[in-house]
Structure 1
Amino acid sequence: MTNFDRPLARRAVIKGAGLGLIAGTLADAISTQEAHADIPGSEIWSGEYWAKKGDVPLWMYRKRVGAPKQGEPSRPVVFFVHGSSVSSRAFDLNVPGHGDYSILNAFARAGFDCWTMDHENYGKSGRTSGNSDIASGVEDLKAAVEVVARETGEKKYHFVGESSGALRAGAFAMAAPERVDRLVFAAFTYKGEGSPTLAKRAEQLDYYRSHNMRKRDRDMIRSIATRDKPGTSDPAVVEALADVELQFGDQVPTGTYLDMTSNLPVVKPEKVLSPVLLVRGEYDGIATVADIEEFFNLLPNGDRQFIILPGTAHSVTLATNRGLFWHVARAFLTMPLPMAT
């Protein structure tokens, strides 16, 4: 299908998978069972859409169990926001013989209406002379949610963002809080203090300031999975990701790199009003535990969690232990409403 028109008193800091899995198990099991109850069949349907940000076409993609039908009950919408060096293909990767790597499929089967998009200058979306920084990504999301609202009838959505995608989602939550339900920030960074990855990246700061595009070849894509802790991702999966990404060329925008090396913090915790789950891989070099804890402690909503996943590095979505991320994210998004106290 192609459519061209169209504060709660709960606080949990969970370090390690053991407590994280226990914390989410009951809510996960109950809510997922309820989500499946109204879904006829089990075949996953997908559709393509286009949003417009001024004159810039933005490609959007949707997955859910069963094609949409007029008059049917709506399903909870979750919008996945990609990072600096890859497009939305990272959320729907097919790697035959190596297990399921599509988080869109996993969440569709759990009863969600899953959406994602290619930001300006990424994937199938329009090419411009801009650098596609975080502010630009917020405008992309503003355009995209109008399409989601039209197609689903829903006005508020969950957002799952990884790396600079988490920054985009957080900045959008500050700009349009009325559109945001629950937020999952994976591989997030607040101020970036003590980050070895950002310190290395900052060596190229003059380049990012003077160029709107940077090289993103196969070796660079491989480095996403190896720079922190080799062995936390399957090499075959990284090669599959490179195969699908390089069809769009070997250049990506510099905007998010510039923001992360010179403009942090771009997400102000006191202005993020929604419930938040912060997920960090044990070996992630993009942000220290102290950096994330500082952000966590300043969030105004008592409904918040901070989880550290063992055996994972920066990319939790495509890690060998990705199932841990899928579990804690799904449990957080399906958490029952607490009784008022």
Structure 2
Amino acid sequence: MAKPDHSLPRRTLIKGAGVLGATLAGALPQARAADQPADIWSSEYRAKKGDVPLWMYRKRLGAPKAGEAARPVVVFVHGSSVTSRVFDLSVPGKGEYSTMNEFARYGFDCWTLDHENYGKSGRTSGNSDIASGVEDLKAAVEVITRETGQRKFHFVGESSGALRAGAYAMVAPERIDRLVFAAFTYKGEGSPTLTKRAEQVDYYRTHNMRKRDREMIRSIATRDKPGTSDPAVMDVLAEVELQFGDQIPTGTYLDMTANLPVVDPEKVLAPVLLVRGEFDGIATVADLEAFYNKLPNGDRQFVILPGTAHSVVLAINRALFWHATRAFLTMPTPIAT
């Protein structure tokens, strides 16, 4: 059984360079949770965005070893109403719901983080909008680079996490290997979800936090198409999420109702996989096609997952998302012509 090396001392805080002046803390090894598969190693990390501490989490097969071959790194970016736990949910009796476990077994070095004002990361008076999320990712990749020795990573974002990843890709193309945008929205035209959400736009403009209670989390399973997600899984998600309180930032909701588009497809240079659930109300097929057609890289795909709605990582048909994403991230390098 691979376990973290608990004999390692906690590393000294290091002053980071760059536009953020980020202070990066070392890895914080943790014991394997009782419900964590024995083949998966995990560790917590800390990054600093200015004075804001950001919690990071990593999973892979076995602890890192000196001299081993580098593994492809994938960074999972969470959305508006949940923390990074959405990518590592344990639901006893329901099968595998941890996307991080699944991709660790595929051979990836999996990372995620809680954005500012989410989960275990620092609390501020800000609203944690898309621009703030970009700065979070800038700080996070410095930690990942230090720990893995790599400088280019895959990014998988869901919902506003896809917007965060896309906006980051525009300003740091040298850091991007391949991008997966799940439950993405471009201009939001014709979106029933965003039309309904826009009724509260004045509230989002004047408040930095909004209510996110148990019923709101449960509605993830029913908002677009009941039956595409298991309500019992959403109950588990609610238990995990509400340990951090019933308030969540408004910034990404404001961006999606008043400031779209926030990602310019012509400035996203990396290969892109767009993934849409068949019944997702956040964006129409036409909206996503408009984005897809403007992407400059010919290495791109648009996949619609049947029997799936907005949350592809917690869908009953989540294996379809895993399959499409794994296939895209492991595409052979094309021969130049």
Fold equivalence (TM over 0.5)? yes
Greater RCO, 1 or 2 (C-alpha within 8 Å, sep 6+): 1
Shift, 1:42, TM fit? 7.3
Counterpart residue number, 1:197: 193
Which deviations, in whole Å up to 9, do the C-alpha atoms of 1:264-283 show, x marking residues without a partner?
Answer: 00000000000000000000
Counterpart residue number, 2:211: 215
Contact 1:65-1:108 at 8 Å conserved across structures: yes
Q: Matches of 2:235 and 2:288 in 1, distance apart?
A: 30
Whole-angstrom CA distance in 1 between matches of 2:197 and 2:99: 28
Q: Does 1:324 pair with 2:303?
A: no
1:191 counterpart SS class: coil
Partner residue of 1:115? 111
Counterpart of 1:58 in structure 2 is 54
1:245 corresponds to 2:267: no
CA distance in 2, matches of 1:156, 1:220: 36
Structure 2 CA distance for aligned equivalents of residues 42 and 200 of structure 1 = 44
* Alpha-carbon contact 1:42-1:66 (below 8 Å) kept: no
Distance 1:205 1:106 in 2: 37
Q: Distance in 1 between matches of 2:230 and 2:267?
A: 37
Tell me if structure 2 keeps the 8 A contact 1:42–1:65.
no
2:279 aligned residue: 283
- Cα separation, 2, equivalents of 1:55 and 1:339: 45
Q: Which residue of 2 aligns with 1:296?
A: 292
Q: What does residue 138 of structure 1 align with?
A: 134
Q: CA RMSD in A?
A: 1.2
Cα distance in 2 for residues equivalent to 1:146 and 1:227: 37
User: Which of 330, 333, 336 matches 1:337?
Assistant: 333
Q: Counterpart in 1 of 2:166?
A: 170
Q: Give the whole-Å Cα distance in 1 for the aligned partners of 2:78 and 2:308.
A: 18
AA in 2 matched with 1:128 = T
C-alpha deviation, 1:303, in angstroms? 0.2
CA distance, structure 1, for counterparts of residue 263 and residue 166 of structure 2: 6
TM-score normalised by the chain length of structure 2: 0.90
**Counterpart contact for 1:83–1:163, Cα < 8 Å:** yes
Unaligned ranges ≥5, structure 1: 7-40
TM-score (norm 1): 0.89
Q: What SS does the aligned partner of 2:55 have?
A: strand
SS at match of 2:179: strand
Task: State the percentage of identical aligned residues.
Answer: 81
- Whose helix fraction is larger, Structure 1's or Structure 2's? 1
Contact persistence 1:284–1:312 (CA under 8 A): yes
Q: Distance in 2 between matches of 1:171 and 1:223?
A: 27
The residue type equivalent to 2:51 in the other structure is D
- Unmatched segments (≥5 aa) in structure 2: 5-9, 14-24, 27-36
Q: Which amino acid aligns with 1:66?
A: G
